[in-house]
Structure 1
């Protein structure tokens, strides 16, 4: 059974008039009549009762009318879905995020994707370090990553979406908690809480910041993740130099202070160099547009969540 014949049948069944159906379908009436006879011959049934005055459906025709509406509706939905996917307007995107980007960047990402691409669903994997995201991209377990450059290995392209300063996190009863601005040199004799991963971009930025100030930070504790790191700092177990977006995750007993001479860290959108999924392209464009206005200065809109991440 050809879809063309099914569409012809549906038009005649809806109008019960071959002439009107032919006009709707933009085909000649003899060709339409011939197609219906072919369909009846193929099914070995009579679908229409024809007289000189009227055309009506037989019981078999009534059944096929309902089924044809369902089948053609599914076909039309499938065609529409395929076209939306091909245009990057529909599908599922698996997104990896590093550190607390799930708290600081994800709200804007999810909001923008929902607004611009309402038929695209996001599947989120959070707290993934840059190497894990790069491995995930190459293994096809994630489609896009929000990570700290540089990437690890080949086959990954990136686009900068945010730049933010490093700040100081201390406990509320720390000697520097009451200082509005702190210098990195003031941390020379402090014990530090840092991430336990050798691949942490934040650790690297902290080491560079301290080296520029002429000292090597003393590690008191190693934290497996941002939540533990902040909890240890709030408990007075040490200080931490982290991205300014730490402010998006307030914690009782924790104070964040500006570091006047600290460096900055970057956040980038990453994808496979050889990927050819138009939905990935579309979501990537939406994310880049969401943050692009802030990339050059590292500034953040005052009417939105303070952006960034800390691992």
Structure 2
């Protein structure tokens, strides 16, 4: 059965008039009548009762009218969906994020994508360190990542979307909690809470700031994720030097203070080099526009 025959049948079934249906379909009436006879012969049924004055549907024709309407609507939806995906307007995009970025940057990303590409679904995986995101991109488990450079391994391209100052997180009863601004040198004798990963870009940024001040931070406790790290800080077990976006997290029992010489840390959008999925490209463009920086690094998608 050809799709063309179903469309012809649907037009005649709707009008119950071969002449009117032929006009709608922009075909000659004899050609339309021949196509309907072909369809009836293929199905071995009579779909229309024809008289000199009237054309009406048989019970089999009534049934096929309902089914043809459904089938043709499904076909049209499929064609539209394929075209939207090919144009980067529809589809699924899997995004990985660092722990803090899920709170600080994801809301803006989700709003922008929903506004610009309402038919795109975002599947989000949070609290992923940079090496895990890079592996997820290479293994095709992720399409995009929001991570802290540098990337681990090959085949990953990045574009910086934010540069954050490093800030100090202390418990509310810590001696530095009352200070509006703190220097890294003030942390010389403090115990630190850090991430337990050797590849943590946040750890590296904190350690660099301490080295510039002339000391090595004393690592008292390690945490696998941001929520655990902050809980340890709130308990008074140490201080933490974190990206400024930590302010977007719920911080009961914690005070955030500026670090005048704490340095900065980057947040970057990452994707597979040679990515040619138009839906992924569309979402990447929206994210980069939402966090447009005058000085971007990396390569264009």
Change (3 A) 1:183 1:206: same
Q: Could you report, residue by residue, the CA deviation over 1:45-78 in whole angstroms, capped at 9, with x for unpaired residues?
A: 2111111111111111111111111111111111
Structure 1 CA distance for aligned equivalents of residues 151 and 239 of structure 2: 28
How far residue 297 of structure 1 moved from its aligned partner, in angstroms, is 7.9
Q: What pairs up with 1:1-311 in 2 under 5 angstroms?
A: 1-292=1-292, 295-296=293-294
Give the secondary structure class of the aligned counterpart of 2:291: helix
Give the secondary structure class of the aligned counterpart of 2:275: coil
Structure 1 CA distance for aligned equivalents of residues 295 and 279 of structure 2: 29
How far residue 131 of structure 1 moved from its aligned partner, in angstroms, is 0.3
Change (3 A) 1:231 1:137: same
Structure 2 CA distance for aligned equivalents of residues 232 and 171 of structure 1: 9
Aligned length: 296
Structure 2 CA distance for aligned equivalents of residues 42 and 190 of structure 1: 85
Unaligned runs of 5+ in 1: 299-311
Structure 1 CA distance for aligned equivalents of residues 214 and 273 of structure 2: 40
Structure 2 CA distance for aligned equivalents of residues 18 and 215 of structure 1: 90
Structure 2 CA distance for aligned equivalents of residues 152 and 106 of structure 1: 23
Structure 2 CA distance for aligned equivalents of residues 99 and 251 of structure 1: 14
The answer to whether the Cα contact below 8 Å between 1:156 and 1:273 also exists between their aligned partners in 2 is yes
How far residue 192 of structure 1 moved from its aligned partner, in angstroms, is 0.9
Query: Which residue is 2:299 aligned to?
Result: none
Q: Could you report, residue by residue, the CA deviation over 1:69-108 in whole angstroms, capped at 9, with x for unpaired residues?
A: 1111111111111111111111111111012211111111
Q: Could you report, residue by residue, the CA deviation over 1:136-169 in whole angstroms, capped at 9, with x for unpaired residues?
A: 0111111111100111111111111111100011
Q: TM-score, normalised by structure 1?
A: 0.92
How far residue 248 of structure 1 moved from its aligned partner, in angstroms, is 0.6
Structure 2 CA distance for aligned equivalents of residues 150 and 297 of structure 1: 17
Structure 1 CA distance for aligned equivalents of residues 238 and 63 of structure 2: 76
Give the secondary structure class of the aligned counterpart of 2:170: strand
How far residue 224 of structure 1 moved from its aligned partner, in angstroms, is 1.3
Give the secondary structure class of the aligned counterpart of 1:39: helix
How far residue 274 of structure 1 moved from its aligned partner, in angstroms, is 2.8
How far residue 126 of structure 1 moved from its aligned partner, in angstroms, is 0.7
The answer to whether the Cα contact below 8 Å between 1:146 and 1:267 also exists between their aligned partners in 2 is yes
How far residue 11 of structure 1 moved from its aligned partner, in angstroms, is 0.2
Query: Which residue is 1:303 aligned to?
Result: none
Structure 1 CA distance for aligned equivalents of residues 103 and 49 of structure 2: 66
Structure 1 CA distance for aligned equivalents of residues 246 and 294 of structure 2: 20
Structure 2 CA distance for aligned equivalents of residues 174 and 297 of structure 1: 37
The answer to whether the Cα contact below 8 Å between 1:163 and 1:297 also exists between their aligned partners in 2 is no
How far residue 250 of structure 1 moved from its aligned partner, in angstroms, is 3.0
